Each structure stands twice: as structure tokens, then as C-alpha cells.
Structure 1
Amino acid sequence: MTDTPPPPSTAPAPEPPSPPPHYHLMGIGGIGVSAFARLLAARGVRVSGCDAQLSELTEQLGREGITVCAGHDASHVAGVDVLIASEAVPKSHPELAAAREAGVEVRPRMALLDELLRAGPSVGVIGTHGKTTTTSMIAVAMQGAGLDPAAFVGGIVPEFGSNARVGHGPFVAEVDESDRGFGELRCETAVFTNAEDDHVGGNQATYWETVEEQHAAFARFVGHAGRVLYCADWAGLEALCAGASERLSYGLSEGADYRAVNLQPDAEGTSFTVERRGETLGEARVSLPGTHNVLNALASLAVTDLYGGEFRAAADALSTFRGPGRRWQRIGELNGALVIDDYAHNATKVAAAVQAARQTGRRVRVIFQPHRYLRTQQSWPRLADALMDADEVLVLDIAAASEPPIPGIHATLVSGRMAERGHAGVRYAPDRAEVVRYLRETATPADVIVTMGAGDVWKLSRELAGDSVAGSGA
């Protein structure tokens, strides 16, 4: 008997898999947008981007398989499914116009961050100061405690060698209040470090008209979250958290849910005990000076505890954390002097950085670069007062950050007020070559030299440290 062959199959051939969506990111060389690029690429998305200037960071993205174009051009949106752009990009920009004409979805950066935060367990870190360091510490502590966090950070975290970490979760993200859409984001846990008046005033797209408007956005963000962990030591935060469904606090203050006690500062950092509602969780240490870094570390240990991480392992991981790029970054030495670079650029951050420098026990010598004409106009008396505890301050010209000059607003406002208040070691020093020459001639092992500001002052720290450079670029 002969077998009859089966009839030919009439089933349709399987459809070929759809190609991954193509996302194009404008300003991909920025510290935040580049982190988005890395997280999207890890999800299998095809990623490209462009920036006005190429840099070491964009070159690294290229080595990771992400196409980066120099400059901006309407041709970049050809074949793109989604264009990611900051709210600061004018709506008339040729790339945005071309995207709209081609039917390409234009998505703000905050909408992308919202998507990532809502995808699973998430932690959103907000506040005027300390976001980058606190976000980094949370991710490092969680990883040390055996969790597998994903992270989005506005700085390079040495432990990851990147501003992003790919993990199964929780997702830990720095949320920038300079983007006016941040208040509508939703996360599981909001960490609220502080609230001041930064990014307020002027006509920039990333600035708020009033501090009340900005703080109302903080309150909305907290109200959308499943719970908030806020700093009990910062006046006014509890009131901004009134709409939260669950409120927890951290700080040095008596009554905080998570509290740091028995602080023992030394030249390299601070050891302290962590309590949870009066129960001792254990001993911890942060290897960065300054009380503000104790608070940042305490927040990270509290969050890790909330997500079930083992305290001892988390504390051990934090004890060796050296900070993200440009946050009390140890660059090297000059004639035995310690050379530090710090991003501090408003009065509260400057005061914290000076306090951290004092904790080293060395003579504190600061090279300060005011940032933006508007910020200097708004806060030069506070900046001057914040620098008064330094032994010596060399004030550079204002870093414009693309702002036009404002008549009468000059770096000498800062140096002049300090001199008027009796500071004998301050001077306006616009000649950078002279600053480097002077410090090379006068630096001693008893000094700590801190380059301070959000502009390009970091370059001087590398020039001063020379062959002893210990960290990477800004």
C-alpha cells in the first residue's frame, strides 16, 4: 500500500517580525538625554540622535552602537518613528517642523520618563539640590543589597561607568524640576530632598515664573506617587507633601521615620547610626564629607529598606561610594594639595560644598565660576555669603550658558560683597592662566583646592592636577 502524500499546506506564511521602532533624540550629548538613549537601546529600540557639538560622551554612544549626527538638520527625521525633544527646543525648529510634516510622533522627554516610571516599581527623586547624588546612592545601595535596579542619572556613576543602569527593577530616576512637565509624572515612591527657588524667573522655557508655581508642581508630583519619603530637616516639605497617600520622612530631626544619629565626621567622610522609628538598623558610613551627604546616604538606605534590601549589604556598598561625576569629585593632587571638582552653583549647594571642604581639615581654596547672568542677578548676595567660610576664593567670569549679558551683572558683585564683609582672601580672577600659575606656585599639602560651578570651571581642576588626575571628564 502506497502512502498518499498530504495535500500542500494552505496556511499563510508567518509574517516577518516587525522592525523595532526608531527613536531619534535631539540633544543626545546631554547628560540626561544620553541616559535615555542607553535605556531605550537596552530595550531593543533603534536609537539615533544629534547634537550641536560632538563630545567624548557622544563618541562613547557611537561605540555602543548608537548613531550620532553632528548638528541639527531636518533630514535626521527621515524614517524615524518617534522624535524625542526637550520642551526648551523651539516649536519652529526645522527638525520638529519636518517631523510634524512627516507625521512623526514628537514626544517630550518627560513623557518618555513617565513611560519608564510607570512600567514597574519605580523611585523618582525630586528636589532643588542633591538629586544626582541621591539617585546614584539609591541605585548603588540597591545593587549592593542584592536588588537589580535600573537607573537614570544626571551624572556618570563610577560604579556603573555610565549615567544609566539596565536592570529588572526597581527603576530609579532623577527627575529634573527645570522641565515644566515633571509635575505630572507618576512613580511608586517619590524621594523629596528639598525645595528652593532654583530655575525661577526669566523667559526661558525651562524656568518657572514664580517659586510658588514650581513648588505647586513638586506637590503635584508627590500627590501622584504611591508614597513619598521626604527630608524632615527641610522646612516646608511636609506641607508640600500633604496630598500624598503615604508619607514617610528621613533626616537628623527627632521624630523622622528614618533617622541618622551619632554622626562622627572626619576628613574623608562621616560615620553614623541609622534608626527606623527608634529601632537601630545598623551602622553606616558615607565617604564624602558634608552633612548633606549624610542625608543623601540616609535617603538611599531608607529607600533600599522600603524595597526589602538587606541593610548591612546596602551600607557596605555605600561606604565605598565616591560620588557621581562633578559631585565632590576627587581629581588628583597639586604639590600634595587635594584637588576637588564640584558642580555647586547656587547658594545652598555652594555653602554645602564649602562645609564639606572645611570637614577635610585643610585650608579651603575655592575657584568659583558664577553660572548664568539671571541666576547671578537673582542670588549674588547669597552666593557671596555662602563662600565666606572658604579661606581663599578666586572668582572667575560668569558662565553665560547661552544667556545674553545683563547690564550691571558681573562676577565682581560676588567678590566685592565678600571683600566688603571683611573677607581678606577673595579676588576677582578673570585670567585663567594666571589662576593656574598662582596655584601651582602656592599650593601645599595643607590645602584643598575646589573648582566650583556649573560651567567649564572643571577644566581648571584637570589642568591643576595634571598627571595625578584620578577621575574622568565632567
Structure 2
Amino acid sequence: MTDHALPIPPPGPAEAFQAASPSLHYHLMGIGGIGMSAFARLLAAQGHRVSGCDEAVTDLTARLGAEGVPVAAGHAAAHITDAPYGPVDILVASEAVPKTHPELLAARAAGVAVRPRMALLDDLLRTGPSVGVIGTHGKTTTTSMIAVALTGAGLDPSAFVGGIVPEFGSNARLGRGPFVAEVDESDKGFAALGAGTAVFTNAEDDHVGGSQATYWETVEEQHAAFARFVAQSGRVLLCADWPGLDALCSGAREQLSYGQAEGADYRAEGLQPDAEGTSFAVVYRGQPLVNARVALPGTHNVLNALAALAVVHLHGGDLALAAAALADFRGPGRRWQRIGELNGALVIDDYAHNATKVAAAVQAARQTGRRVRVVFQPHRYLRTQQSWPRLADALMDADEVLLLDIAAASEAPIPGIHATLISGRMADNGHAGVRYLPDRAEVLRVLRETASREDVIVTMGAGDVWTLARDLVGGAA
């Protein structure tokens, strides 16, 4: 991932938010994941001994090692009991790890406590004032904005983020609080949690319909889990612009809303978009609070920033300082990330991988006023099977689309499911600028020969399409 290419120093001084228990040895399976690595940093900053393992050594696991967290390549039962990783006190694994995994069996045989990763997040959310960001889109950007805005407002938040926040140089931050966390619905254990404030961005049908541990059987089951999280939280701050969220929040103890919709408690008014972002006014129940700006294009980023400023207001922070911090915010890794230029063309990388995110990223690109050229990599066969018509429709507003093969993400191919379903529908609907181009060298050649300062080139998807953005900029004259 692009996140791994950024410098990642350890979190700041652990003056507060310290471990309530004596120092323990935690071993994290899958420590190279963006979420598990954040847990590793928070636990280490609290004074615990931390080790971990993952299938492969990556840039991120190497940086964890440089921070004093030893990481083993591969999985083995010996990690639990033998030096240099064992003996351990607590083994942490996601629910996706099979219960028959050798490390889990070895832990139980040795009397080592086994905890799911969501149990760790629950501990952190219960430590003091907390904010849990839920929804199917925008969690990483919104969580990052909340943490940056609270810091700018003079507070000292802790943060757990599914991406690298440039202002922190990390995906984790340790402070006196409140604790701000991205809560991932792909782990079904999230439904047992709650937060002081639940920020609810939206609810769609992502991570639904598969047999994998990270998928819900039905959208109704997933949305019921969102509703449970909200009901177990102190209050919910929901996006009023997303239809149906209020019904999922009927069990909330206290309900507040944000958005552009009439009747929202926190409203973004007077939007003034330009090529670099959008300026707007924040109004609370008819009373102006602050003038703000987000330096990321797209209406979705206005809503993300509005949620962040609402959280600052709810926690008594300085809104003017928070707004200034957000005006300088350039986004977490792989969320509208500016990589550089190629022949004067702006090169952007974005994690957008489902139809709603893709449409938002294309709309953001259009806001730049440049010709929009997208390199799109569909993600997962099941997701493509479920949503290829919507993906095709979401890409229609791009001027040019170069389509890569599907990133399998460990899924087996599904007969008949291919990237050309997307390009075929786009062509049938009249798009003259879409091409299926699976040869990456050819993608690079085409863009290097034709890019100009009138263009914005966006590499888009949740797979390894990000490498092309780096190659384009790295190979620029």
C-alpha cells in the first residue's frame, strides 16, 4: 500500500492514556495490517511488550521492527512459547483467523489468553471520552479529520486510524483524550462495541453477501449491527444527507445530525468549490459557528470536515483553530493523495473501490477543472460480481478510463466475472474513452506519452494500482 511508503515514527510521548494493568506481552497475528499495526503502536506506547507475525515482511512490518516491535515472517506455534517472540501473555487475532490455526491452538494449550482485535478496541473506547466513526464510506478520512481538528483545537486526542495521517506520521496517536477510532464493519465484532459519540457517515451494502469472515450474509444483518453500535453509544452524530440513517439510529440515547439537508443540527452552508477544495460556513441550529475550508475536492469531503468540526464543538474545542488545522489537512494516505506531476499533469492516488466511493472520487477530480483520466482496478471478484454495473455507471463522468484486471485479494476467480464487464457497459452507454488495458507497462507508456498540464490522472482502487502512480511520477522527466 502507499501508506507503507510514508515515514512512520512511533506515537508521541505516553503522558496519559496509560495502561491500567501491569505491563504484559502482546503478540499480534497479522500485525502488518493497517489496523493491527495501529494496535501495536498504541500498546507499545502504553508500556506493554509487543511482538507480531504476518505472512510476509513488508515496509510496514520493517518499520515496526525499527520502532522496537519484533515481527516474524509467517506463522508458527513456536511464536507463543519460544524466544524471541514467546512466551506471550495475550495473543490477539482477528475473527478471520480460523479457530484451528496452529498459533491459536498453541495459545490455548499454553493457557495464553486469546483476544479478538475488537476486544482491544473496546478497551480503548471505554478508557474515557471516545469517538467511534462507523459507516461504509469515508471512515478513514473522517477519523483523520476529527483527530487533526481536535489537536488543532487545543485538545490532545488519541487516535486509531485505518491509514497514515501525515500530521502524525502514523496511523496511531497517544494523548490524554478523547480517543478517536475508526471502527471497521468488516469485523463483525464491532457490533458489540459502542462509543461516547458514534459518528455515522453512511450505510450501504459493502462487505455483504460473501462467505468470508469479513462479509455479512445480508445488508439487513450489517445495518442491524450499525444500529446496535449506535444504541450502545452515548450519542450519535449522523449524516442527514444519507437516506435511512435516522431509522438505524432510532435506538440512540441522543441524536444529532450534520450535513447540507434542511433540519440538520450542524449544516454546511454557502459552499464555494474551487480547483483545490471547498470553502463553507458551519452553522449550528441557525447560529453561525465558524467559516471553514477543506483542501480536498468533493462534497463528500465537506461533509467529512463538517463532522470533524461538529465533534470539536461537542468537546468544547476552539473551532477557529480547528478550522485552521483542517484548512491545512491534505488527507490520509491513499485518500485523494497527491503523488506528484507528470508532464504538468496532476497525479492523484485514491483508495476508492466501490461505486459510491468511485463516483465521489470522479466528482472530486472534475472539481479540479482538468481533464479527468482514471486508471481503475476493480477489487475482488465477489464485489465486482455484485456491483459491476454500478461501477461502470460511477466511472461514466471521467473523460478517460484505463481498466486493469480485477485484484483478487485472495479470492478465487468467479466464472464470467471480468473487468471487461465494466468497460463493455461503459462503451454500450456511449463512453468513447474507456479501454481495457491489463498490461501495466502499456498503461505507463500511454500516460507518459499523452499526459499534459490540462490533465488530472487518478489511480483508483483498493489493490496495488497505487504503484502505477509512483511509477508515473518517478519516471517523469
**Which residue number in structure 2 is paired with residue 48 of structure 1?**
51
Matched, 1:205 2:213: yes
SS of structure 2 residue aligned to 1:304 = helix
**Which residue number in structure 2 is paired with residue 342 of structure 1?**
350
**Which residue number in structure 2 is paired with residue 332 of structure 1?**
340
**Which residue number in structure 2 is paired with residue 383 of structure 1?**
391
Match of 1:224 among 224, 232, 236: 232
Q: 1:311 to 1:102 in 2, by over 3 A?
A: same
**Which residue number in structure 2 is paired with residue 20 of structure 1?**
23
Supply the distance in 1 between the matched residues of 2:194 and 2:448 (Cα, whole angstroms): 50
**Which residue number in structure 1 is paired with residue 109 of structure 2?**
101
Supply the distance in 2 between the matched residues of 1:316 and 1:467 (Cα, whole angstroms): 35
Supply the distance in 1 between the matched residues of 2:77 and 2:384 (Cα, whole angstroms): 36
Supply the distance in 2 between the matched residues of 1:35 and 1:282 (Cα, whole angstroms): 32
Matched, 1:274 2:282: yes
**Which residue number in structure 2 is paired with residue 360 of structure 1?**
368
Does the Cα contact within 8 Å between 1:22 and 1:80 map onto a contact in 2? yes
Matched, 1:405 2:413: yes
Supply the distance in 2 between the matched residues of 1:436 and 1:394 (Cα, whole angstroms): 11
**Which residue number in structure 2 is paired with residue 432 of structure 1?**
440
Instruction: Give the residue type in structure 2 aligned to 1:49.
Output: G
Matched, 1:87 2:95: yes
SS of structure 1 residue aligned to 2:148 = helix
SS of structure 2 residue aligned to 1:87 = coil
Deviation at 1:467, TM superposition (A): 6.2
**Which residue number in structure 1 is paired with residue 126 of structure 2?**
118
1:26-75 deviation digits (Å, cap 9, x = unpaired): 00000000000000001111100000011111111111111111111101
TM-score (norm 2): 0.94
Matched, 1:246 2:237: no
**Which residue number in structure 2 is paired with residue 32 of structure 1?**
35
Matched, 1:262 2:265: no
SS of structure 1 residue aligned to 2:251 = coil
Supply the distance in 2 between the matched residues of 1:380 and 1:102 (Cα, whole angstroms): 48
SS of structure 1 residue aligned to 2:353 = coil
Supply the distance in 1 between the matched residues of 2:37 and 2:459 (Cα, whole angstroms): 25
1:106-160 deviation digits (Å, cap 9, x = unpaired): 1001111001000110000000000000000000000000000000000000000
**Which residue number in structure 2 is paired with residue 143 of structure 1?**
151
SS of structure 1 residue aligned to 2:188 = coil
Instruction: Give the residue type in structure 1 aligned to 2:56.
Output: Q
Supply the distance in 1 between the matched residues of 2:470 and 2:357 (Cα, whole angstroms): 22
Matched, 1:61 2:92: no
1:360-394 deviation digits (Å, cap 9, x = unpaired): 00000000000000000000000000000000000
**Which residue number in structure 2 is paired with residue 8 of structure 1?**
none
Q: For structure 2, list consecutive stretches of 5 or more residues without a partner in the other structure.
A: 1-20, 82-86
Deviation at 1:282, TM superposition (A): 1.4
Does the Cα contact within 8 Å between 1:395 and 1:428 map onto a contact in 2? yes
Does the Cα contact within 8 Å between 1:227 and 1:244 map onto a contact in 2? yes
Stretches (4+) displaced over 2 A: none
**Which residue number in structure 1 is paired with residue 328 of structure 2?**
320
1:75-96 deviation digits (Å, cap 9, x = unpaired): 1111111000010011111111
Count of matched residue positions in the alignment of Structure 1 and Structure 2: 452
Does the Cα contact within 8 Å between 1:332 and 1:468 map onto a contact in 2? no
Instruction: Give the residue type in structure 2 aligned to 1:26.
Output: M
- Give percent identity, aligned residues only: 80
TM-score (norm 1): 0.95
Supply the distance in 2 between the matched residues of 1:54 and 1:246 (Cα, whole angstroms): 45
**Which residue number in structure 1 is paired with residue 78 of structure 2?**
75
Q: For structure 1, list consecutive stretches of 5 or more residues without a partner in the other structure.
A: 1-17, 470-474
- Write the mapping of 1:297-308 to structure 2, written as runs, cut at 5 A: 297-308=305-316
Deviation at 1:20, TM superposition (A): 2.0
1:280-321 deviation digits (Å, cap 9, x = unpaired): 001000000000000000000000110000110000000000
1:159-204 deviation digits (Å, cap 9, x = unpaired): 0000000101000000000001101102100000000000001110
**Which residue number in structure 2 is paired with residue 420 of structure 1?**
428
Does the Cα contact within 8 Å between 2:343 and 2:476 map onto a contact in 1? no
Instruction: Give the residue type in structure 2 aligned to 1:36.
Output: F
Deviation at 1:468, TM superposition (A): 6.9
Instruction: Give the residue type in structure 1 aligned to 2:419.
Output: A
Supply the distance in 2 between the matched residues of 1:468 and 1:144 (Cα, whole angstroms): 36
Supply the distance in 1 between the matched residues of 2:357 and 2:476 (Cα, whole angstroms): 27
Matched, 1:448 2:456: yes
